[in-house]
Amino acid sequence: MLIFYGIVFFIMANLYTLAEFSGEYRVAACVVCGILFVFGNIKPCPLDRVRFTRSVRFAGRDKDSGSGASRKEEASGIRATLRGKKIPSRRLRICMQGSDLLLLFCFSTAASALYLLLEIGQLWQGEAKVWLFHLLNVFLVEAVVFWNGIIRVYLTSKQLAVKWRVLGLICGFIPIANLVVLYHIIKITGYEARLEGEKLLIDEERKDRRICATKYPILLVHGVFFRDFKYLNYWGRIPGELEKNGAVIYYGNHQSADSVEGSARELAARIRQITEETGCGKLNIIAHSKGGLDCRYAISQLGIGDLTASLTTINTPHRGCLFADYLLEKIPEAVQEKTADTYNKAVKVLGDENPDFMKAVHDLTASACTERNEYIGDAKGIYYQSIGSKCNRGVNGRFPLNFTYHLVKYFGGENDGLVSTDSFPWGEAYRLVTVKGRRGVSHGDMIDLNRENIPGFDVREFYVELVADLKQRGF
């Protein structure tokens, strides 16, 4: 259908020279072409059907279905069931249409430009007016297609960052630069429409299976320098996706910055509160960054082992961060104290009762973690596993990760922008997450911090698979 409308748009753009406005048949043909042009601008792909990205990993297989080939067969089966279904979101349908229109604009404009160049001899053959009217016709037709598409994606896309929106406005009339920016806009919005449409249909297809309905509820524990806010979720779109698939979610609700012991005491109290109020008996803890250190301490030293079914640490520096030792040694003490005082005052306004910036930083050093690991052991009867990720290049992590990546790499090699991959492993199982190519997966990407769709890594489906696995293990 897109190819068909591409031809229609090309004909309309070059109608001045392709059609002779005399004769009943030719007039009728022009009218038909005009009607098709209008319809093409309304719905360039009238069916608005799913076009699979093949980047979603499917979770929730049965225990006896195995993995590998069985997983591929299940994924193929789901795609076969959903292929051709209408995307159940008007916003995504409009976004897809906008992306398609911009793609049609590129093809028809390129073809029209080539045609104009072939006919440029008219300028020296006494037919300059004909060529100029032809150029005007191309400009007007393509302007309709372009603005129709760009307005749709600007109004409906959630993935199109402010950077690309601003660049689109600034570079719109700059040759070459406008093509580069337009390419990225089409790529981002088209991928968003396909991926999000696919996910909506997948969730609808498997909602009755409740693949994330674990025996024990999930406790999500944030890392350092963040809080659990009601309207700005630390975990991005992840909790919503888990709840769609049957999970019961709770949050740590502890302060943003404190020593490992201080945060652990808050979390221990929170865990006791949840288990007493709900009668759930135990919790499955998923902890990010320093939150993993806090939870290990709480389980080992504060007597909540009997209330914990499993602990999954995400990008946790179990062996500390060497670059933190370096910074504490090199940065003047007065600067450290000033930074800590400013931070502590700011987060008190946000709700922290007694934050301690410096204690939090000190407990993340390699020396502090080494000392703590000597007396913090794993409790019996609890399933421990760890997950880490790595950036493939420093520029892939947004500020300040694109700066700290190089510092961490100098001291510890491959990293996620903050933590060396050597520091991640802990427990019975360990997985390192990344994607092919030059991007990678950063410390923030693992909690959907930027709400960004990363080609090759669907963070929401990753957590669905993670929790579905806990369910299959009996937790």
Name the band, by pLDDT with cuts 50, 70 and 90, for residue 401: low
Q: Which two tokens stand for residue 12?
A: 């309309």
What digits encode the pLDDT tens for the residues 417-463?
899 999 999 999 999 999 988 889 999 999 999 899 998 899 999 99
Q: Which two tokens stand for residue 174?
A: 């700059």
Least confident residue range of 62-76, 261-275, 355-369: 62-76
CA distance 427 to 435: 24
If one compares 259 and 23, the residue with the highest pLDDT of the two is 259
If one compares 139 and 470, the residue with the highest pLDDT of the two is 470
The pLDDT > 90 percentage for the chain reads 55
- What pLDDT shows up at residue 77? 52
Answer whether residue 33 shows pLDDT above 80.
no
What digits encode the pLDDT tens for the residues 127-168?
777 778 878 888 888 888 899 999 999 999 999 999 999 999
Contact assessment for residue 445 and residue 457, using Cβ atoms and an 8 Å cutoff: yes
Q: Concatenate the DSSP letters of all residues of 101-146 into one string.
A: HHHHHHHHHHHHHHHHHHTGGGGGTT-HHHHHHHHHHHHHHHHHHH
Give the count of beta carbons closer than 10 Å to the beta carbon of residue 428. Answer: 11
- C-alpha to C-alpha distances, 360 to 210, 255, 256, 264, nearest whole angstrom: 38, 11, 9, 12
- What pLDDT shows up at residue 121? 76
CA 325, 343, 263, 252 torsion-angle sign: negative
Give the count of beta carbons closer than 10 Å to the beta carbon of residue 175. Answer: 7
- What pLDDT shows up at residue 173? 81
CA distance 191 to 89: 15
Residue 397 backbone phi and psi in degrees, to 5: -90, 130
19 burial level (CB within 10 Å; 0-12, 13-18, 19+): middle
Q: What is the pTM of this model?
A: 0.84
Walk across the sheet containing 383-389 and list its strands. Answer: 249-251, 218-221, 283-288, 308-314, 383-389, 429-433
Average pLDDT of the chain is 85
Name the band, by pLDDT with cuts 50, 70 and 90, for residue 17: low
Give the single-character DSSP code of 218: E
* Long-range contacts formed by 33-37: CB under 8 A, 24+ apart: 33/8, 36/5, 36/8, 37/8, 37/9, 37/12, 37/141
Give the count of beta carbons closer than 10 Å to the beta carbon of residue 403. Answer: 11
Answer whether residue 68 shows pLDDT above 70.
no
Answer whether residue 56 shows pLDDT above 60.
no
Helix/strand/coil percentages in the chain, nearest 5: 60, 10, 35
Name the band, by pLDDT with cuts 50, 70 and 90, for residue 332: very high
If one compares 294 and 93, the residue with the highest pLDDT of the two is 294
